[in-house]
Copies of this chain bind each other. A is one copy, B any other.
Amino acid sequence: MAGNNFRKVQFPRETKGFINIDPLQTGGKLTEDARKALIEWGDGYSICDFCTTGRLDEIKKPPVYDFVHEQLPKFLDCDIARVTNGAREAKFAVIHSLARSGGWVVMDSNAHYSSYVAAERAGLNVALVPNTGYPDFKITVEKFAETLEETRRKGDIVLALITYPDGNYGNIPDVRKIAEICSDYDVPVLVNGAYAVGRMPVSLKDMKADFIVGSGHKSMAASGPIGVLGMREEWGEIVLRKSKKYRNKEIEMLGCTARGATIVTLMASFPHVRERVKRWNDEVEKARYFAGKMEELGIKQLGDKPHNHDLMFFHAENLYEISKKVKKGRFFLYRELKSRKIHGIKPGLTRYFKLSIYGLSYEEVDYVINAFAEILEKYS
């Protein structure tokens, strides 16, 4: 009986003790304080212990109210903030609130799939801003302006979405200039900062954007799924509109969102996260160091160059050539890295892959570089 099999599963996490270079995971590793909070607040609905108004963001103990209404708006440099079930859920809440029948969302073609799907879920059309293609894959201000102009002729643009940076190349577009152009078209701008908020300093106001979205599990050292949403004052009435019957419940939030250990871990990590973004320049320098060493091995770094983010995309013609010859085929790289306790490049990839070295020490970075050198050497 299948039921009996299931009973025995112990769920060990096999990548424990590994160096993890999966871009999805390097910014989501819990801090020690978050780990303690996780254990303390693990039970189901524990956060609701001292909820008196029926709203998550108004809980005083633990200090959710202070976090959501004071700390987070300061951190994002916005007027109003909320915690959501994730970055994608935050994007959907905004898109769904702004949706008009037959409307369009203009977004960069480097966008995460969930940006596209969120627009589809809201019944909207999507116009994609093309990138510059190999090897840079940049989203330029000019192309964004062109796509806005073309789309305006087709119909009603309800929102522009910019991915900052994108999750493939780690490219940082000129969001401020793009937002200025959107403003000329009277189109509000949402910045998907799932790989920015919690890693690098961000300011919604400097960006001249309307909304910013972040990911707790991707970049804020929180246990997932959890996200954050910041916006300008004027959008509060629309995106945070309230139920007609339940006057204190925000419709797009379905009342309360991240109602569990997720928000407590986000809050417990927050003081550390706020500090770590101040060291962002060191992370960029380390990424450039790593990219340089990879290039010395004949593995090309694509995207912005010099690079401005820890998430990097590589083109390894040499590893691809090896994969065509060796027994294990395209899985050889995954296995070789696994045997060296390095996790995070998808099984089967050799020619093109992304990785992140966020939070690694230089010793660990060198260990990863040496692993690639050894693997190339071994099969040469």
The residues of B that contact A267 with a CB separation of less than 8 Å are: 9, 11
Contacts of A217 in B (CB 8 A): 44-45, 259-260
B116 touches A225 (CB 8 A): no
> Can you list, as one digit per residue, whether each of A202-227 has a CB less than 8 Å from chain B (1) or not (0)?
00000000000000111001111100
> When each residue 44-87 of chain A gets 1 if its CB lies under 8 Å from chain B and 0 otherwise, what string results?
11111100101000000111001100110010000000000110
**Do B45 and A224 touch (CB < 8 A)?**
yes
Q: Is A238 an interface residue (CB 8 A)?
A: no
**Judging by beta carbons under 8 Å apart, are A347 and B38 in contact?**
no
- Of all chain B residues, the one with the shortest Cβ separation from A7 is B271
Q: Contact at A42–B49, with CB atoms within 8 Å?
A: no
- Determine which of B3, B85, B126, B243 lies in contact with A225 in the assembled complex, contact meaning CB atoms within 8 Å: B85
Chain B: CB-nearest residue to A2: B70
Mask of A1-28 contacts with B, CB within 8 angstroms, 1/0: 0110111011111111000001011011
Interface-located stretch among A141-149, A184-192, A250-258, A296-304: A250-258
Contact B85 A246 (CB under 8 A): no
For A7, A9, A43, A244, which residue has the most chain B Cβ atoms within 10 angstroms? A43
Q: Which chain B residue shows the least CB distance to A258?
A: B225
Q: Is the CB of A6 within 8 A of B270?
A: yes
Please give, as numbers and ranges, the residues of chain B lying within 8 Å of A262 by CB-CB distance.
224-225, 260, 262
Given A25-B43, A49-B343, A225-B262, A243:B11 Cβ within 8 A: no
- Measured CB to CB, the closest approach of chain B to A315, in angstroms, equals 21
Q: How far is the CB of A137 from chain B (nearest CB, A)?
A: 18
Residues on B with beta carbons closer than 8 Å to the beta carbon of A49? 13-15, 22, 25, 343
* B346 and A52 contact, CB distance less than 8 A: yes
Interface string of A98-109 (1 = CB under 8 A from B): 000000000000
Stretch of A29-37, A175-183, A316-324, A361-369 contacting B (4+ beta carbons < 8 Å): A29-37
State whether A44 touches B25 (Cβ < 8 A).
Answer: yes
Q: Which residue of B lies closest to A221 (CB)?
A: B44
B268 and A11: CB pair below 8 A?
yes
Q: Which residues from B are CB-within-8-Å of A67?
A: 6
Contacting pair B42 A265 (CB below 8 A):
yes
B254 and A117 contact, CB distance less than 8 A? yes
Q: Decide if A160 is an interface residue (CB 8 Å cutoff).
A: no
Which of B6, B118, B246, B347 lies in contact with A116, CB distance below 8 A?
B246
- A88 proximal to B (CB < 8 A): yes
Q: Are B63 and A9 in contact (CB under 8 A)?
A: yes
Query: When the two chains form their complex, are residues A11 and B264 in contact, meaning their CB atoms are under 8 A apart?
Result: yes
Chain B residue numbers with a CB within 8 Å of A222 are 44
Asked if A254 and B89 sit within 8 Å, CB to CB, the answer is: yes
Cβ of A327 within 8 Å of any chain B Cβ, yes or no, is: no
19 more CB-based (< 8 A) A-B contacts, given A86-B259, A120-B251: A5-B66, A7-B271, A10-B33, A11-B36, A11-B40, A11-B41, A11-B264, A11-B267, A25-B46, A27-B44, A30-B44, A38-B38, A43-B223, A45-B217, A47-B224, A114-B255, A116-B246, A223-B260, A224-B260
A–B Cβ pairs within 8 angstroms, 21 of them: A2-B70, A2-B74, A5-B66, A10-B36, A11-B37, A25-B49, A29-B43, A44-B216, A52-B346, A52-B347, A113-B245, A113-B249, A114-B255, A117-B251, A120-B251, A126-B245, A224-B260, A224-B261, A224-B262, A225-B257, A225-B260
